[in-house]
């Protein structure tokens, strides 16, 4: 039987009890596959890689090494959360690499979106490879492949020009959630004790905030993306919208407009808010954010984010617009 095909008899994991049974079965299977071998895992902090990490920690403990690469394009608080959950709470072997300067130097002056994606993908592999070489005797590579990745090798993800981890390593793959759908991965993650903010996290593209800081990325504009995104997320959470709206974020385009503050004319950036709902990311509709909430977010962004003088709301469905701006 093809191990990449979900058997029709496989029960959909919808309850804590079913998740417990899956965890028990997978831990045993992982122990059998890996024995006393060593596993390496690129841990982004997204739900898929986090669930794989938690399963592997349960199965093989310190024989797993997680590598968390901070490419400088993560959202506010993300690297800190990965370190807190996996190193401090789960006592995992975690290598944290702050490669911000390296990525931003390579991206300096690059404005073509596909070129940006390629640089981020290639640099990610280079950093990961360097870390992999430092660890002796690794035979296995953990991966957060989920069933839609297998089904949709022709779908949305395949169109995004981000390299996968290199086959040239010759590692044997360890993919314990490859037959699960996203909602099942979340039920398993919850049962493994991962925090809700990780388990119910909205999708986040591999190239991160890099595709939301349009054109050539600069550090100050990137900071404006990160800070405005943090305000948006905080206000959505306060309004009870976290987990209800499929994806919401901010974009800071690379053009300025005039403004005025304290009697002085400004030449600053706009922040664009995007909030959409979708089932499969192939089409999307715009969330109807209540006006008072939009107003509150706008006031906060204008008051708290440096270099910004306007806030706009993107009313465009997909199609014609894509969800991301690049």
d(CA 272, CA 250): 5
Q: How far is the CB of 204 from ligand XMP (least distance, A)?
A: 7
Q: Of 79, 176, 189, 206, which lies in the binding site for ligand XMP, with binding defined by CB under 6 A?
A: 206
- Considering beta carbons, is residue 117 or 178 the nearer one to ligand XMP? 117
Structure tokens given for 222: 């990137």
- Considering CB under 6 A, how many residues would be counted as binding ligand XMP? 15
Based on DSSP, count helices (H) and strands (E) in the chain, helices before strands.
Answer: 11, 10
Peptide bond between residue 208 and the one before it cis (omega within 30 degrees of 0): no
d(CA 99, CA 200): 27
**Which DSSP helix (H) or strand (E) runs through 309?**
strand 308-313
> Are 235 and 81 in contact, with CB atoms under 8 Å apart?
no
Q: How far is the CB of 21 from ligand XMP (least distance, A)?
A: 30
Structure tokens given for 47: 């739900």
d(CA 235, CA 241): 9
d(CA 127, CA 114): 20
Q: Is position 323 an interface residue for ligand XMP (rule: CB under 6 A)?
A: yes
The binding track of 159-198 with respect to ligand XMP, each residue x by CB under 6 A or -, is -x-x------------------------------------
The binding track of 238-277 with respect to ligand XMP, each residue x by CB under 6 A or -, is ---------x------------------------------
- Considering beta carbons, is residue 172 or 280 the nearer one to ligand XMP? 280
Q: How far is the CB of 326 from ligand XMP (least distance, A)?
A: 8
* Residues at the contact surface with ligand XMP, assessed by CB under 6 A: 117, 156, 160, 162, 203, 205-207, 211, 247, 281, 318, 322-324
């Amino acid at each position: 039987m093809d191990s990449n095909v979900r058997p029709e008899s496989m029960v959909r994991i919808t309850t804590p009890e079913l998740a417990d049974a899956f965890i028990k079965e997978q831990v045993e299977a992982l122990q059998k596959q890996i024995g006393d071998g060593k596993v390496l895992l690129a841990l982004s902090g997204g739900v898929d890689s986090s669930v794989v990490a938690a399963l592997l920690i349960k199965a093989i403990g310190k024989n797993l090494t997680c590598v968390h690469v901070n490419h400088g394009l993560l959202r506010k608080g993300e690297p800190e959360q990965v370190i807190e959950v996996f190193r401090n709470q789960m006592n995992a072997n975690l290598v944290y690499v702050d490669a911000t300067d390296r990525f931003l130097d390579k991206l300096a002056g690059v404005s073509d979106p596909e070129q940006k994606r390629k640089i981020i993908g290639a640099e990610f592999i280079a950093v990961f490879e360097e870390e992999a070489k430092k660890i002796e005797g690794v035979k296995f590579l953990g991966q957060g492949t989920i069933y839609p990745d297998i089904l949709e090798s022709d779908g949305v993800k395949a169109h995004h020009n981000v390299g996968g981890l290199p086959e040239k390593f010759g590692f044997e793959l360890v993919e314990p959630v490859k037959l699960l759908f996203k909602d099942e991965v979340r039920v398993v993650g919850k049962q493994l004790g991962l925090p809700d903010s990780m388990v119910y996290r909205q999708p986040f593209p591999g190239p991160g905030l890099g595709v939301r800081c349009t054109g050539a990325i600069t550090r100050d504009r990137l900071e404006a993306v990160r800070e405005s995104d943090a305000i948006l997320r905080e206000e959505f959470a306060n309004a009870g919208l976290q987990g209800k709206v499929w994806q919401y974020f901010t974009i800071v385009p690379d053009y300025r407009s005039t403004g005025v503050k304290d009697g002085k004319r400004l030449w600053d950036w706009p922040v664009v808010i995007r909030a959409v709902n979708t089932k499969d990311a192939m089409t999307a509709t715009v969330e109807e954010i209540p006006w008072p909430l939009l107003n509150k977010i706008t006031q906060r962004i204008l008051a708290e984010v440096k270099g910004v003088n306007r806030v706009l709301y993107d009313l465009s469905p997909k199609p014609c617009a894509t969800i991301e701006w690049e």
